[in-house]
């Protein structure tokens, strides 16, 4: 998918050559026993060269009531995975994870380059930079993202971590105004570098532009067999009791229990969205609300259908995928987009 290709302008051959050269030198070092591999920042193997780097950006949404968390774990063999999570009122709304496209070795050279700079470059190293140790767990102000870098070295069985505050999400992160100290810019720049090497400078979040939301229920066995998505939103200034009653009627149909109690919703502040796609006939098919996006003339809800990808062999079974969420009350009209988008999911990915 395009958002995970990244900027490959320098060419795959260069990275592969870097990786092979690094591996050859490392092997020679081990065989000849002429390298110090125990001290951080010394010897041929730098801290983290055998291990992984994990970067995280957690951004508050909607008056700190929700969040968007984005994380990349990048291993020294080149393989990486990006995870995204959106949530509201302490409850996760949805999660998405994607592996690197293509062979991991394509990214191994860039990983080695990153590790070298984080160990040796006087302008951007994190390992051994003493000023970073002065702040361990800062409090980030309203609207500010919490940014972290963690390097794990598998040979030494050691981990180092740095946390700072910055503006922007993973896609829009900037060193400008980062804090609480000057050294924070180094942590933020490391996250930006990992992003550019993996998902690319033009990265676009699965949940871009969305209000936060929390999952009330999700699955493939609803008793409500209508395939039309539903919006439960009280009219402006009134109608909260009627809206709760309508939700209760749906909930009893959805669960198949005539006395089932629907979740209590603060209709003056919130709304409930029911994503339905109708009957499907494959295990692994699911419905997923990904976006609650305010636009010029109201609010649009983005509903996706996740289906097993190429070369998967899902079991045949009749299912009724659904996704029910609660979100902050957004401007009317609130409508699902006309088209249900489809997303091919790698085999074994939930």
Successive 10-residue mean pLDDT values, the chain, 350 residues: 38 48 44 40 79 98 97 98 98 96 96 97 96 95 96 97 97 96 98 98 96 97 94 93 97 96 96 96 90 97 88 78 98 96 74
17 and 154 in one domain? yes
256 and 309 in one domain? yes
| Entry pTM | 0.85
312 and 176 in one domain? no
Res 43: pLDDT: 52
197, 226, 243 - which closes a domain? 197
Res 283: pLDDT: 81
Q: Give the range of the structural domain holding residue 143, as residue numbers without chain letter.
A: 2-197
335 and 265 in one domain? yes
Closest CA to 77 of 55, 98, 99, 56: 99
Torsion of CA 234, 235, 239, 244, to 10 degrees: -20
280 and 181 in one domain? no
Res 147: pLDDT: 98
What are 306-313's contacts with CB under 8 Å, separation 24+?
306/342, 306/343, 306/345, 307/282, 307/342, 307/343, 307/344, 307/345, 308/282, 308/284, 308/344, 308/345, 308/347, 309/344, 309/345, 309/346, 309/347, 310/344, 311/347, 312/284, 312/347
45 and 185 in one domain? yes
10 and 108 in one domain? yes
Res 39: pLDDT: 42
237 and 165 in one domain? no
197, 222, 254 - which closes a domain? 197
Closest CA to 55 of 201, 193, 178: 193
Number of domains, the chain: 2
In a domain, 53, yes or no: yes
Res 7: pLDDT: 42
131 and 14 in one domain? yes
334 and 187 in one domain? no
In a domain, 206, yes or no: no
Res 171: pLDDT: 97
Res 284: pLDDT: 82
243 and 170 in one domain? no
116 and 28 in one domain? yes
Res 281: pLDDT: 86
């Amino acid at each position: 998918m395009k958002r995970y290709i990244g900027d490959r302008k320098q060419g795959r051959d260069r990275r592969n050559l870097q990786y092979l050269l690094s591996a050859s030198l490392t092997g020679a070092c081990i065989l000849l026993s002429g390298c110090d591999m125990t001290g951080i920042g010394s010897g041929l193997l730098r801290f983290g060269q055998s291990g992984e780097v994990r970067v995280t950006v957690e951004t508050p949404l909607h008056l700190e009531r929700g969040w968007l968390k984005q994380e990349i774990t990048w291993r020294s063999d080149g393989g990486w995975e990006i995870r995204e999570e959106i949530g509201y009122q302490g409850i996760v709304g949805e999660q998405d994870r994607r592996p690197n496209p293509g062979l991991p070795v394509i990214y191994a050279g860039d990983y080695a380059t990153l590790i070298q700079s984080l160990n040796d470059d006087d302008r951007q190293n994190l390992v051994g930079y003493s000023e970073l140790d002065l702040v361990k767990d800062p409090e980030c102000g309203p609207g500010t993202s919490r940014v972290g870098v963690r390097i794990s070295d598998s040979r030494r069985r050691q981990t180092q971590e740095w946390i700072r505050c910055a503006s922007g999400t993973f896609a829009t992160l900037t060193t400008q105004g980062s804090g609480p100290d000057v050294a924070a810019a180094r942590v933020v720049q490391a996250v930006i570098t990992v992003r550019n090497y993996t998902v690319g400078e033009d990265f676009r979040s699965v949940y871009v532009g969305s209000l936060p939301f929390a999952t009330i229920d999700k699955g493939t066995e609803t008793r409500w067999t209508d395939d039309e998505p539903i919006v439960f939103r009280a009219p402006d200034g009134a109608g909260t009791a009627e809206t709760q009653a309508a939700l209760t009627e749906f909930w009893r149909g959805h669960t198949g229990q005539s006395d089932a109690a629907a979740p209590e919703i603060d209709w003056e502040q919130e709304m409930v969205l029911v994503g339905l796609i109708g009957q499907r006939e494959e295990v692994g098919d699911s419905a997923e609300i990904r976006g609650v996006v305010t636009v010029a003339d109201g609010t649009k809800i983005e509903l996706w259908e996740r289906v097993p990808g190429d070369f998967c062999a899902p079991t045949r079974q009749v299912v009724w995928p659904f996704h029910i969420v609660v979100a902050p009350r957004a401007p009317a009209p609130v409508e699902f987009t006309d088209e249900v988008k489809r997303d091919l999911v790698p085999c074994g990915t939930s």
